A and B are shown apart, each in its own frame.
Chain A
Amino acid sequence: MNSDINLLLNNKVSWLADCGPSEDIAISSRIRLARNLEGVPFPPHATPAQLNEIINTVEMAVQRNKELEPFLKFKIGETSDLDKMVMFERRLISREFMEKSDPGELLVTADESFGIMVNEEDHLRMQFMRSGFQLKNVWQEINRIDDILSNQLPYVFNKDLGFLTSCPTNVGTGIRASVMLHLPGLVLSNQINAVIQGVSKLGLVVRGIFGEGTQNLGNLYQVSNQSTLGESEEQIIERLGNVITQIINHEKNARRNLLETNQPFLLNHVGRAYGTLRHAYILSSAEALDSLSALRLGVDMGMFSSVDIHTVNELFIIINPAHLQKYAGKELDSSERDIYRAVLVRERLKASDRGK
């Protein structure tokens, strides 16, 4: 039977709520590992019976292990579309996983820091997330769990090619390390494209968080490694970490520069955004994300001592469609969501004000 989705919704998401290093610019660090089990085709080519067998095997492995925290379980076929969207918005499952019709399961710790998607593109896609910029720490955690699981589960491993994966882009270490960065300074000063191009040349990937393709709302970017073979996990993380440190420095410079050379512009940008969030009665997702980004910039720069950064971070998640509908306790169409989104944002910011 599935666990209760409210266990997730009532959570102060740990990768948002805990304090992490450099967290004004780096929101969270995440590492995922792709693993497959011996003798069964990769999920896209396996039969439903085989996929169920994988689910049972993985469940058995995590339950038997006393060193691992207890897991919440969500069978994807027994989960409503809305609940799947909630998991997607909380970054626990991928879009592909959400849309699949074959047997799959999400196993996730109660604090949401560690999760396993069973039968996504690979038999196991496990991820560990922490707030702020702490890839090395995240690697230690997930490496430990991976070792424990590899004592229980027969991973497909080849001494030349490492861990074999459904897609050859993940073969070897099966690692994808990423850091979510908030880069409004680079966007406002029109430097973001140069930075993205520079990073791409180093063989790393930059993606917008909201909306695939060109749109990037909320000035949130995810920087991750692309290559998974030919380097050790530590080397991959080191290289990625060095580049991220540089991006963070660029962002800090851009912010300082805006403050020194164009203070009225910056104050106006932030102040208007706060006004919108505090007083709007209809708030589209795009406007909310843009305004939240500006407010977050203002909070980081010490302009709003009354607003707690974690309130802002949390709003980035709960203004998304599935979360809104969960909080409202009913289905909402797009225009109803815009109204309820405004209510929720006003309430949260007001509460944050009172709290001080």
Chain B
Amino acid sequence: MICEICNQNPATIHIQEIINGQKKVLHICADCASKKSTENPLLQGFNVAEMLYNLSGQFGAGDVQPSQQEPSEIELICPGCGWHSEDLKRTGKLGCQQCYTTFKEVLEKALKTMHHGTLHVGKSPASMGGDDTDSKKVAELMSLQKELEDLVQREEYEKAAIVRDKINLLKQELKK
């Protein structure tokens, strides 16, 4: 693909702009991109999906630093939710908490460029540590509700009744 501005260099940077509600995609080279970002300092939204897979398409924080690295094309599917590496590439987003393990390697690289560090140093949930907190009960409640749904779908009503009683019990405990 050739740069749409100078029509000479290969386009390594792909910019999505939304102007007056209309989406425009621009394929341009690094030179034109840096010109464009000087003219237009508000233009600094970066496409995470590209950043993840095509590090040459990366430009964060207003300046452009293209690298020649080839995208790593490994096909992965998250066992937790079925999220596919294609989905990640397309949306720049993850499907569920387990995706962070599934796509660990791809993410590690991207996180480095996105953030100031790669380790969390902020707060942890206030509930951590205790065994008998409400949030643990709510988690249990949610997994029971899921189980109930599955059982009803499979028409295993006897088991479902037991799970339903457990749910009611938990709900009562939580209401206290």
Q: Is A269 an interface residue (CB 8 A)?
A: no
A153 CA / B61 CA spacing, docked (Å): 34
Number of interface residues of A (CB under 8 A): 70
Mark interface residues in A193-204 (1 if CB within 8 Å of B CB, else 0): 100110011111
Question: For residue B136, which residues in chain A have a CB less than 8 angstroms away from its CB?
Answer: 154
A203 CA / B115 CA spacing, docked (Å): 9
Given contacts A154-B142, A168-B48, A172-B122, contact A213 B111 (CB under 8 A): no
Are B135 and A155 in contact, CB atoms less than 8 angstroms apart?
yes
Q: Is B125 an interface residue (CB 8 A)?
A: yes
Are B97 and A227 in contact, CB atoms less than 8 angstroms apart?
no
A157 CA / B149 CA spacing, docked (Å): 26
Q: Is B175 an interface residue (CB 8 A)?
A: yes
Are A173 and B123 in contact, CB atoms less than 8 angstroms apart?
yes
Pick out which of these stretches binds chain B: A33-41, A129-137, A289-297, A326-334.
A33-41
Mark interface residues in A96-115 (1 if CB within 8 Å of B CB, else 0): 00000000000000000000
Chain A residues numbered 139-190 whose CB sits less than 8 Å from any CB in chain B: 143, 146-148, 150-164, 166-169, 171-173, 175
Are B121 and A207 in contact, CB atoms less than 8 angstroms apart?
no
Chain B residues numbered 112-147 whose CB sits less than 8 Å from any CB in chain A: 114-128, 133-136, 138-139, 141-143, 145-146
Question: For residue B119, which residues in chain A have a CB less than 8 angstroms away from its CB?
Answer: 160-161, 229-230
Are B41 and A200 in contact, CB atoms less than 8 angstroms apart?
yes
Q: Is A216 an interface residue (CB 8 A)?
A: yes
> Which listed residue, B93, B114, B124, B174, touches A60 by the CB 8 Å rule?
B174
Q: Is A48 an interface residue (CB 8 A)?
A: no
A146 CA / B135 CA spacing, docked (Å): 13
Q: Is A246 an interface residue (CB 8 A)?
A: no
Taking CB as reference atom, which chain B residue is nearest A229? Answer: B115
Q: Is B62 an interface residue (CB 8 A)?
A: yes
Interface size bracket, B side? 35 or more
Question: For residue B93, which residues in chain A have a CB less than 8 angstroms away from its CB?
Answer: 42, 44, 121, 166-168
Pick out which of these stretches binds chain A: B1-9, B13-21, B67-75, B154-162.
B13-21
Are A201 and B126 in contact, CB atoms less than 8 angstroms apart?
no
Q: Is B65 an interface residue (CB 8 A)?
A: no
Question: For residue B41, which residues in chain A have a CB less than 8 angstroms away from its CB?
Answer: 193, 196-197, 200, 206
Question: For residue B174, which residues in chain A have a CB less than 8 angstroms away from its CB?
Answer: 60, 64
Are B61 and A155 in contact, CB atoms less than 8 angstroms apart?
no
> Which listed residue, A121, A175, A213, touches B17 by the CB 8 Å rule?
A213
A155 CA / B44 CA spacing, docked (Å): 31
Are B97 and A38 in contact, CB atoms less than 8 angstroms apart?
yes
A60 CA / B141 CA spacing, docked (Å): 12
Q: Is A7 an interface residue (CB 8 A)?
A: no
Given contacts A150-B125, A226-B61, A229-B118, contact A53 B145 (CB under 8 A): yes
Q: Is B43 an interface residue (CB 8 A)?
A: yes
Question: For residue A173, which residues in chain B have a CB less than 8 angstroms away from its CB?
Answer: 120, 122-123
Are A152 and B115 in contact, CB atoms less than 8 angstroms apart?
no
Are B91 and A172 in contact, CB atoms less than 8 angstroms apart?
no
Are B60 and A42 in contact, CB atoms less than 8 angstroms apart?
no
Question: For residue A214, which residues in chain B have a CB less than 8 angstroms away from its CB?
Answer: 17, 19, 40, 42-43
Q: Is A49 an interface residue (CB 8 A)?
A: yes
Question: For residue A53, which residues in chain B have a CB less than 8 angstroms away from its CB?
Answer: 142, 145-146
Q: Which of A36, A151, A202 has the most CB of B within 10 A?
A: A151
- Rounded to whole Å, the gap between the CB of A129 and the closest CB of chain B is 20
Taking CB as reference atom, which chain A residue is nearest B63? Answer: A201
Chain B residues numbered 37-67 whose CB sits less than 8 Å from any CB in chain A: 38, 40-44, 48, 52, 60-63
Mark interface residues in A59-103 (1 if CB within 8 Å of B CB, else 0): 011001000000000000000000000000000000000000000
- Rounded to whole Å, the gap between the CB of A140 and the closest CB of chain B is 12
Mark interface residues in A217-229 (1 if CB within 8 Å of B CB, else 0): 0000000001111
- Rounded to whole Å, the gap between the CB of B9 and the closest CB of chain A is 24
Are B60 and A150 in contact, CB atoms less than 8 angstroms apart?
no
Taking CB as reference atom, which chain B residue is nearest A147? Answer: B126
Are B61 and A229 in contact, CB atoms less than 8 angstroms apart?
no
Are A39 and B19 in contact, CB atoms less than 8 angstroms apart?
no
* 10 tightest A-B CB contacts, nearest first: A230-B117, A162-B120, A200-B62, A154-B139, A229-B115, A150-B125, A173-B122, A147-B126, A45-B95, A41-B96
7 A-B contacts, Cβ less than 8 Å apart?
A: A36-B97, A146-B126, A151-B134, A157-B124, A162-B124, A166-B94, A229-B116
Given contacts A39-B143, A60-B138, 12 further A-B contacts (CB under 8 A): A39-B146, A44-B93, A60-B174, A152-B138, A166-B94, A173-B120, A173-B123, A206-B44, A214-B40, A229-B120, A230-B115, A233-B122
